[in-house]
Amino acid sequence: MAAAAGDGYTIEFNGRDGYLTAPAGADVDDLVEQIEAIRGVRDVEVERSGAPAAPAPTDDVAAEVPAEFSVAWGAAGLSGNGTLPSDREASIGAGLGDGFDVAVGDQYTMTAGAAAAIDEVIPSIGTDLVDGTLTLIDGDRVRITGTPADADAFARLQAAFGDRDGVELDIGGEPAPAEPDAAAFAFAYDGAAWSQTDGATPESFDYVSVLFGLDATTGENLAVGNNVGRDVSDARRFFGNELTEGSISVDFDQVTVTGVAASAADADAIASAFEGRPNVTLDLEVAEPTTTEVAQAELDALFECCTIEFVTGTATPTAETEDLIDRVAGVLEEFPDVAIDVNGHTDSDGDDALNQELSESRAAAVVQALVARGIDASRMTPAGFGESQPIADNETPEGRQTNRRVEIIAKEGE
C-alpha cells in the first residue's frame, strides 16, 4: 500500500496498531480505510513527514515503477527475471548475462545506492558465493544470500556489505534456498461473494484476504510471476459491476479471467483494459438480454421513425398515430409478461398546471387506446410529467416538438 501511494509514505505496526507516515497536505483517507480493513488492525494513527505530497503523474508523464528482480545461481547455472531501468541494462543486465530474463524500460527506477551494491556483488557470483540469490526489492533494497566459497570469501563479503544501508546480507555456509514452486490458485464469484476454489497463494500474497474478503489459503515456498498481483487486483474490480459472475485463476505468471458480462459494451471495456497484457487471458460471455430488455428494444425501434401525436391542445390521438398504437399493441401481445409505464410530456408553452393536466390526459388516452386493442389495463401505468422533463431546447420550434411526447417504458410484469 505504501509503495502504491508514492514517495514519502511508510506503514508500520506495533502489535495491532498501525502507524502511517504521509507527506504534509496529502489526502490519506482512502489509505487509512485500506489499512483499517486488514483483519486484526485495531487503530491507525497518521503522522506527517513535513515534506509536500508528490504530485500525481499527468497523462504526459508515465508513472514511475520501482525496479524489482531476483537472480539465483548454483550448480545448474544462473537464472532470474524481473525489471530494470533502461540506464542499468548495460551494467547489470550484461553483467549477469545469459539466464537473466529481464524487462527494461524508462519507467523503472532504482536508487544509486542499490545500483552500486549490485554492481559490486556481481563479480562475487559463482566465485566468492558458489551458490545463492541476489534480489532487488522496490528499487532500493538489495538482499544477498548464499554459500561463501571459504572463510576469506565470507570475510570479504561481510566487509563489503555487512553494514551497508539498504543491503541485507544472509550468508554463512547454509545451502542455497530451494527454488520456489509455481503457485496455482483460483477464486470464484457467484454474484454476491468470493470463494477460493483451488490451490494456495504465496505467503507474501496474503493481501488477497482483504482483496477478496475471505481467509485465503497460503502455502510455503510458492511464487508468482511479475505483475500477477496487479493483474489480479485490476480484474477483481470488474466483478459485481461489469461482470455478474465468474472467476480469476493464476498459474504462476498466467492470469485467466472468466465471467459473464452484463453487456457486449462491458465485455469490450474489459478487453480494452487488459489490452497489451500478454499474461492475461479473458474468457468472457455476454449475458442473454431479459424479456423486458428485448421488449424495450422492439418498442424503441417503433419510435425511431414515429411519435404518438395528438390533435393540438387535446388528448385525442391523430389519425396517423393509430397505426403506431396498433404496432405498440402488437409488441405487448408478443410479450404478455411485460408491463409498461406510459409517460406523457409537454413543451413549456402555456400554463404549468394545464400542461401537467394535458400530459396526464394524453398518457391516459394512450392506455385507453391500447385497452381498446385488447391489452389488459393492469399491465399499464399512465403518468404525466407536464413540462418538467424536457429532452430538447424549448426555445426552438423543433425542440418544443421533441418535448411533446409519450414515452413507453417496459418493465417486469407484476
User: What mean pLDDT value characterizes the chain?
Assistant: 88
270 & 246 share domain: yes
271 & 191 share domain: yes
pLDDT of residue 51: 47
Over residues 308-320, the mean pLDDT reads 87
Is residue 2 pLDDT above 80, yes or no? no
In a domain, 229, yes or no: yes
Quote the cell numbers at residue 121: 556483488
CA pair distance 214, 192, nearest whole angstrom: 13
Per mean pLDDT, which range of 107-116, 385-394, 405-414 is the poorest?
A: 405-414
> Of 255, 286, 317, which one is at a domain's C-terminal end?
286
Quote the cell numbers at residue 221: 515456498
Q: How confident is the model at residue 58 (pLDDT cuts 50, 70, 90)?
A: low
185 & 203 share domain: yes
In a domain, 33, yes or no: yes
Quote the cell numbers at residue 288: 442473454
In a domain, 176, yes or no: no
C-alpha gyration radius of the chain: 33
How many domains, in total, are found in the chain? 4
Per mean pLDDT, which range of 4-8, 129-133, 386-390, 400-404 is the poorest?
A: 4-8
Higher pLDDT, 361 or 20: 361
In a domain, 59, yes or no: no
In a domain, 143, yes or no: yes
> Of 262, 286, 310, which one is at a domain's C-terminal end?
286
**Beta-carbon neighbour count of residue 193 at 10 Å?**
11
CATH of the domain at 320: 3.30.1330.60
In a domain, 58, yes or no: no
* Contact in structure between 36 and 44 (CB atoms under 8 Å): yes
Over residues 286-308, the mean pLDDT reads 88
300 & 406 share domain: yes
298 & 205 share domain: no
> Of 265, 286, 307, which one is at a domain's C-terminal end?
286
325 & 407 share domain: yes
189 & 136 share domain: no
30 & 141 share domain: no
pLDDT of residue 157: 92
312 & 400 share domain: yes
CATH of the domain at 244: 3.40.1520
320 & 359 share domain: yes
Higher pLDDT, 169 or 173: 169
Is residue 369 pLDDT above 80, yes or no? yes
317 & 360 share domain: yes
pLDDT of residue 413: 67
CA pair distance 357, 42, nearest whole angstrom: 60
In a domain, 334, yes or no: yes
pLDDT of residue 34: 86
CA pair distance 378, 414, nearest whole angstrom: 9
pLDDT of residue 211: 86
Over residues 267-272, the mean pLDDT reads 94
Torsion-angle region of residue 161: left (phi > 0), alpha (psi -120 to 50) or beta?
Answer: alpha
165 & 218 share domain: no
pLDDT of residue 312: 81
Cα dihedral sign, 51-56-62-66: positive
- Tell me which residue range forms the domain holding 234: 181-286
Over residues 153-180, the mean pLDDT reads 82
Is residue 220 pLDDT above 90, yes or no? no
CATH of the domain at 25: 3.30.300
Over residues 25-42, the mean pLDDT reads 84
In a domain, 57, yes or no: no
Higher pLDDT, 412 or 171: 171
